[in-house]
Structure 1
Amino acid sequence: MRRVLRWALVGTLGLVALTVAWALLYRVAPVPGTPLMLIRAMGGSGMDRSWEPLDAISPHLARAVIASEDTAFCGHGGFDWTAIGTALEDNEEGKSLRGGSTISQQTAKNAFLWPARSWLRKGAEAWFTLLIESLWPKRRILEVYLNIVEWDDGVYGAEAAARHHFRKPAAALTRREAALLAVVLPSPRHWSPSSPGPYVARRAGIIERRMAVVERGGLADCAR
């Protein structure tokens, strides 16, 4: 039994060291691909992506994503407990299901993990969220997120999304275009920022107003 416990401890410590090294690598190196990208590519979706530093992405998009996905991004340590509590209450009351995931959680999930709904995956997501919040600056978390998130079938990252939807580089995105891109993030393969329906167009207007609040309140200052 002692030998089994010893090997279990060695294996656990080895796994922890491996994940820490992986997170440290992605702190400085572009993420070469994600499990979701590989799964989509194997299904025939292709892989349109181009890594760009945050300075080459319109600040409108950073503000739009924070306004839409996680207004507490610059202030929390990876988890927005208020949003999580609200989501749990709504789910228990039978209201529309809500996630409560922060940008940090979504970055951890997309960069390191497979798309699945299980307690194992959620536990791994929490661990990687703690890692990147501890080892990366907030600016790097947002940079990685904007470069790996899916914005259409087989289209990943801000640069590919801007060229695919608006025929321009990510640096040239307008305020409205950034809001439209942020709106479709929950369902990028079903909603289109370049051909928005009534819901997407209306929601983009709401996001634009929230962007003004984010800018005035300094809620995106950690991305500068």
Structure 2
Amino acid sequence: MLRKIIVTILAGLLILAAIPAVLTPIYALPFINPVSTLMLRDHFTFRPYLRDWVPLDEVAPVLRYSVLMSEDGQYCRHHGVDWGEMRAVVDQFMEGEETRGASTITMQTAKNLFLWNGRSYLRKALELPLAIYLDLVLSKRRLFEIYLNIVEWDTGVYGIEAASQHYFGRPASELTARQAALLAVTLPNPDDRNPANPTRRQARLADRVQRLAAQSGDYVGCVKPQE
């Protein structure tokens, strides 16, 4: 009996592991528009949601730079996981200090595509190999394009095009530097932050991101417009 239970559990784990292994190469195809686990939840529970897929080349460059500099400044340089940031978080944890987030955009994409929300050491542990695999299979541009189109900017508002229309009534291609910065600093906490009506703290964070985006240079080279 115990053996059957163990075999069943192992079989289930293998099936779960096979899902991202199979889907990720499919997501490399430019005509495929992936959806997140949250979008699937909304779909199957009949909750309304907004998402309008937009190619990366139709997203204002300043929005790309703002998101990168706000969420993952080393995105173009690491291979899915920022090990320097990860070590710093582990050191803080071991010393009993409050830890900060160390999720890269690749890890967040892995979570959005294949895992669940909420704080969990198990989920974090699963994010690491998934992020490395995503970075190995997908180009930086494609991975970032997927991220921008599946991340949640408000309850039921997924992707940069829907967010841009929802908050500012304009397409993602026409966002200003200020609007881009405000959208970028909304991402860590979209439930409590409104880029169209920012708090003073949000405005200060947006000031910083706007400056970083303007000076981003080679840090954002992998998502710059292609000539």
Q: Normalized against structure 1, the TM-score is what? A: 0.87
2:113 corresponds to: 111
For residues 72-221 of structure 1, the aligned pairs below 5 Å read 72-93=74-95, 95-214=97-216, 216=217, 218-221=218-221
State the Cα RMSD in Å: 2.6
Distance apart, 1:46 and its partner CA? 2.2
Encode CA deviations 1:61-101: one digit per residue, 9 max, x unaligned: 11001110111000101111111122233344555431101
Give secondary structure in 2 for the equivalent of 1:151: strand
The question of whether the paired residues in 1 share the 8 Å contact of 2:49 and 2:156 is answered with yes
**1:175 maps to amino acid:** A
Aligned sequence identity (%):
41
Distance apart, 1:202 and its partner CA? 0.8
CA distance in 1: counterparts of 2:145 and 2:45, whole angstroms: 27
The question of whether the paired residues in 2 share the 8 Å contact of 1:87 and 1:98 is answered with yes
Q: Normalized against structure 2, the TM-score is what? A: 0.86
Give secondary structure in 1 for the equivalent of 2:215: helix
Encode CA deviations 1:32-52: one digit per residue, 9 max, x unaligned: x22222345667752111111
2:26 corresponds to: 25
**Total equivalences in the alignment:** 219
Give secondary structure in 1 for the equivalent of 2:40: helix
